A and B are shown apart, each in its own frame.
Chain A
Amino acid sequence: MKKSLAVTLLLAGAFGAAASAHADPRARFMAANCSYCHGPEGKSTGAIPSLAGLEVKYFVDQMKAFKDGSRPATVMKKHANGYTDAEYEAMAKYFAAIK
């Protein structure tokens, strides 16, 4: 019984998030690409930081800081080098909209 309740809540969460994400599909896809490290919908289960709910400016500033090296990183400099400023912005908006 416990399990089926969890599943119901999960499904509500997944579809709720999808519905709220009126972001364009490319932004949604790029954001989803982050989730294998940062957790589904940017909600991390461990030491890697969550992205859900971050302010747009903060997210974009961090990506720029990873790219120019002013924020030290393990993997993130490589990821930051792979995307454009416009793409940072698109992903930032997607994550900012997640409650």
Chain B
Amino acid sequence: MTINRRDFLKASGAAAGVAAVGSLSGCASMGGNATPKVVVVGAGFGGSTFAKYLKTWYPKAIVTVIEPNAHFTSCPFSNTVLAGINKMDDIELPYAYVSKMVDAWVKDTVTSIDTKKQTVTTAGGKTFAYDKLVLAGGVELLFDKVQGYDAEAQKTIKHAWKAGRDQTGALRKQLEAMPDGGTFVMSVPKAPYRCPPGPYERACMVASYFKKAKPKSKIIILDGNPDIASKKGLFVAAWTKHFGYGTDNSMIEFRPNNQPRSVDANKMMVGTEFDDVKGDVINLVPPMRAAAITGLAGVRTGNDGTWCPISYQTFESTVVKNVHILGDSALTNFPKSGSVANNTGKMCAYAMSEMFAGRKPDPAPVVTNTCYSGTGMGTAFHVATVFRWNEEKKAMVPPKDANGVSKEESELEMAYMHSWATNVWSDTLALPASYKFTAQG
């Protein structure tokens, strides 16, 4: 990745004489000539989308993106890798395009944030000053909430809840190596967690692979929630239709209120409150909270210090000025989906571009979520919601009948799910219209 440090330093120097963007009122006096320094930490669906749209809507902003990974790996569609429908290559996409749109792209990890001096420091020893800081780090997985889930156990037990070769790719290899008649044990953390329908889709995808390749195998879902947490009717229908759910011969066994408490990677055993469950392959998704960088900034103050309270108008932290939080890390009533992360990136870019231009941010934003899940059997279904600011309730509320799910799974929605993926990837990463996607639906 080209950092173009010289240009960046030049740009920083040019901006140094400009008054810091201290507050909303400070912004309002800037009159559209401001060249504010905006530092974005994390280039997932939220951060990358934000950076692209801010540069499009307010090109004078000097945008630096700090991201440790060399390329983007999509969590949506990563379950298709477990099914064997796609390979890791197919869900890995380049930062080459979006990185050219911003002023500096830094491949590094943020190690400290000083919200008084308004600086960010990286593991590589660089310090960046900001007028606005945007934290888009997704989630932090809390391995220490599961006894025995230490670094050694993590070599064997995968979460695959942050897609990557050492997670999704490794779990796929474990599934391939599992003998027919084996048991795959997977877990669902207590809500709220990233991608509410994701675990149930995962069960479908792995079952579709077993049905073809290892039909005597079983899937046990240990769910920390009292029931299926998303699209329940649709998942139960899909499990019933394709995988014998509800019969003595069901490939999938669903166990609600079974939060994993411990794991033993040698005995290949997961402990819940009720019993010990043995698996040939174990896929344990630990509890999670807002990304570690939000802890560094002191903005992870909501829900007993797990998520970050924000203003829906600006996505600015309600506790620390000039720090904005996108996507999964934010404490909202939105589902923690890729679609929402992408759109919160735009909500924040919209508000910030308005403030930089000397205007007030939109007091009543509207935003949508559309989230598809695949069955692994050539069909998919959705949940879709429009959220609008409700001044009386001081909340983002769906208008009447602006929230709902598919009537039934369909091949048409599988085609839409695939199109959603290539479109949201294009939108997030500024991929050109000619980009050749290889992922299959």
Contact = CB atoms under 8 A, between A and B. Distances in A.
Q: Is the interface of A mostly helix, strand, loop or mixed?
A: helix
Contacts of A40: 423, 426-427, 430
A39 B426 contact: yes
B432 A10 contact: yes
B90 interface: no
A13 to B, nearest CB: 8
A48 B420 contact: yes
A78 B401 contact: yes
Given A28-B57, A74-B382, A75-B382, A14 B430 contact: yes
Contact of A15 (B56, B100, B387, B413): B56
A35 to B, nearest CB: 5
Interface in B415-439: 415-416, 418-420, 422-424, 426-428, 430, 432-435, 437
A25 B366 contact: no
Contacts of A81: 386, 399-402
Contacts of B366: 30, 33, 82-83, 87
A43 B433 contact: yes
Contacts of B343: 33, 36
A79 interface: yes
B334 interface: no
Contacts of B370: 36-37, 75, 79
Contacts of A35: 423, 427
Contacts of B437: 45
Contacts, number: 139
Contact of A78 (B346, B350, B403, B420): B403
A99 interface: no
A74 B413 contact: yes
Nearest to B407: A74
Given A7-B96, A82-B398, A47 B419 contact: yes
Nearest to B49: A36
A25 B57 contact: yes
Contacts of B398: 82
Contact of B346 (A7, A33, A75, A87): A33
Given A10-B97, A14-B101, A29 B416 contact: no
B416 A3 contact: no
Nearest to B401: A81
B96 A3 contact: yes
Interface in B314-370: 339, 342-343, 346-347, 350, 353-354, 359, 362, 365-368, 370
B384 interface: yes
Given A7-B97, A39-B423, A47 B57 contact: no
Contacts of B401: 77-78, 81
Contacts of B31: none
A85 to B, nearest CB: 13
Given A36-B370, A78-B385, A82-B402, A6 B346 contact: no
A38 B423 contact: yes
A9 interface: yes
Given A14-B430, A47-B418, A47-B419, A79 B402 contact: yes
A32 B424 CA distance: 11
B426 A45 contact: yes
Contact of A9 (B420, B432, B435): B432
A49 B100 CA distance: 28
A36 B398 CA distance: 19
B53 interface: yes
A26 interface: yes
A26 B365 CA distance: 8
Given A26-B362, A79-B386, A48 B346 contact: no
Interface of A: 3, 6-7, 9-11, 14-15, 17-18, 25-26, 28-30, 32-33, 35-40, 43-48, 74-75, 77-79, 81-83, 87
Nearest 8 A/B pairs, CB to CB: A82-B386, A46-B419, A82-B402, A47-B415, A48-B419, A81-B402, A29-B350, A75-B384
12 contacts: A6-B434, A25-B362, A28-B350, A35-B427, A36-B370, A40-B423, A45-B422, A45-B433, A45-B435, A74-B413, A81-B386, A82-B386
Given A14-B52, A79-B386, 20 more contacts: A9-B432, A10-B97, A10-B430, A14-B430, A25-B354, A26-B362, A32-B53, A32-B350, A33-B346, A33-B367, A36-B343, A36-B370, A39-B426, A44-B423, A45-B426, A45-B435, A47-B418, A48-B416, A81-B401, A82-B398
